[in-house]
Amino acid sequence: MTRSLTALLAIATLSFAIAPAWAADTIKIGELNSYKTQPAFLGPYKKGMELALEQINAAGGVNGKQLELITRDDNSNPGDAVRAAQELLTRDKVDVLTGAFLSNIGLAITDFAKHKKVFYLASEPLTDKIVWADGNRYTFRLRNSTYMQVAMLIPAAIAMNKKRWAIVYPNYEYGQSAVATFKALLQAAQPNVEFVAEQATPLGKIDASNVVQALADAKPEALFNVLFASDLSKFVRAGTQRNFFEALPVVSMLTGEPEYLDPLGSETPVGWVVTGYPWYAIDTPEHTQFLQAYQARFDDHPRLGSVVGYNTILSLAAGIKKAGSTDTEALISAFKGLELDTPFGPIIYRSIDHQSTMGAYVGVLALQDGQGIMTDFKYVDGAQVQPSDEQVKQWRRAQAD
């Protein structure tokens, strides 16, 4: 861990305003997100941003300027997101754009950044298209993509050695992208695999009983789950009530994240192989210092969103510092190959596709004192599960670089 990150964490218990009224000369970060519709993830995410801003500003800011955060809600609507981004640029005069949770929102802002020629750091949206098929020179992405998260789970799926697979996912860009990758990677490893049932549910509106029944009727030998938030809770409850998960191997994206695991409580499906964030058991110096700083500041434990929000601001600060300004072209150059330390360890933004190497934890769900936890987990560095340069060149549209 670099001295700069250590210094930031050391002053974390101090409280400073996010946008000091006295700081006339500030760097304005324009951020938009689905705060109203996805509070479980984005409440902690905003706290993570706040912590990083406070630490950086207390340490003197970036290039002698304080950071100012201006947020807007996108109402989980691509049209509203584009209007909010335009307002941030024209009315609030922000220097950079960041944010987005839902993948379709992220794609809308990626396209907006391309046409407006403004720097955009996609903090959370997972669809592969943001850095590949629809990638552009103005957009970088922090969090690991659907391809990367699926690739983290594929070894466990292969080890299950099951032929008949069922799939359930939310029917929008994120779910569709994850399923396409899962099918491709599993079929490449097991050519005889069959996908015997597939349930695509409307986001936030799952009919869990009917979905479970449809999946059960296909008599699968294993299941790939992509649901999250309230859809996940309803699905787990319905499946448990019908004994659907009994002796059924499951690999599941996001389920180990506290945002979605904590609400399951005693209903946690034991034995699922998941990606997640076991904040309570990560024993590294950089994470321990982050955890202590976060708990001291908010009297609460972090969620995965907390880390994403924190790393978003760290990334922007590091990129702006390296660029020496907020000029768009300077930022693009600075972010290519940008290296920084985070609570998950060092990450790099790849030059070829603007994707960071931020990884995730993969483990097995278990119950402890009536609460779900991850056990037998390991951290998978994002660099280990990214496609090759040749694959990226095939997938990405030709862009002026």
Q: Which domain CATH number covers 295?
A: 3.40.50.2300
> Does the residue 92 lie in any domain?
yes
- Check: CB of residue 103 under 8 Å from CB of residue 173: yes
In a domain, 399, yes or no: no
Residue 14 lies in a domain: yes
Residues 16 and 129 placed together within one structural domain of the fold = yes
Regarding whether 190 and 178 lie in a shared domain, the answer is yes
Q: Are residues 273 and 305 in the same domain?
A: no
Q: Are residues 238 and 374 in the same domain?
A: yes
Q: Are residues 326 and 246 in the same domain?
A: no
Per-residue tokens: 210: 């009917």
- The closest of 343, 261, 260, 331 to 51, measured between CA atoms, is 343
397 lies in some domain: no
Number of domains in the chain: 2
**Tokens read off for 292:** 């202590």
Tell me, yes or no, whether 233 and 156 share the same domain. yes
Q: Shortest CA distance to 179 belongs to which of 162, 197, 161?
A: 197
Q: Are 111 and 13 part of one and the same domain?
A: yes
3-state secondary structure of 79: helix
The Cα–Cα gap between 30 and 50 comes to 14
Say if 401 falls within a structural domain.
no
Return the bridge partners of 198, or none.
167
Tell me: do 104 and 185 sit in the same domain: no
The verdict on residue 247 lying in a domain is yes
Query: Are 68 and 92 in contact, with CB atoms under 8 Å apart?
Result: no
Q: Do 186 and 290 reside in the same domain of the chain?
A: no
Average pLDDT for runs of 10 along the chain of length 401: 50 39 74 96 98 98 97 97 98 98 96 98 96 95 96 98 98 95 97 98 96 98 97 98 96 98 97 98 97 98 98 98 98 98 98 97 97 98 94 71 46
Residue 395 confidence (pLDDT): 82
400 found inside a domain? no
232, 379: one domain? yes
Which 3-state string (H, E, C) describes the chain?
A: CCHHHHHHHHCCCCCCCCCCCCCCCEEEEEEEECCCCCHHHHHHHHHHHHHHHHHHHHCCCECCEEEEEEEEECCCCHHHHHHHHHHHHHCCCCCEEEECCCHHHHHHHHHHHHHHCCCEEECCCCCHHHCCCCCCCCEEECCCCHHHHHHHHHHHHHHHCCCEEEEEEECCHHHHHHHHHHHHHHHHHCCCCEEEEEEEECCCCCCHHHHHHHHHHCCCCEEEECCCHHHHHHHHHHHHHCCCCCCCCEEEEEEECHHHHHHHHHHCCCCCEEEECCHHHCCCHHHHHHHHHHHHHHCCCCCHHHHHHHHHHHHHHHHHHHHCCCCHHHHHHHHCCCEEEECCEEEEECCCCCEECCCEEEEEEEEECCEEEEEEEEEECHHHHCCCHHHHHHHCCCCCC
Residue ranges making up the domain that contains 95? 3-144+282-359
Whether residues 215 and 276 fall in one domain: yes
Q: Are the C-beta atoms of residues 113 and 88 closer than 8 Å to each other?
A: no
197 with 93, same domain: the answer is no
Domain membership of residue 395 (yes or no) is no
| Residue 228 to residue 215: CA distance in whole angstroms | 17
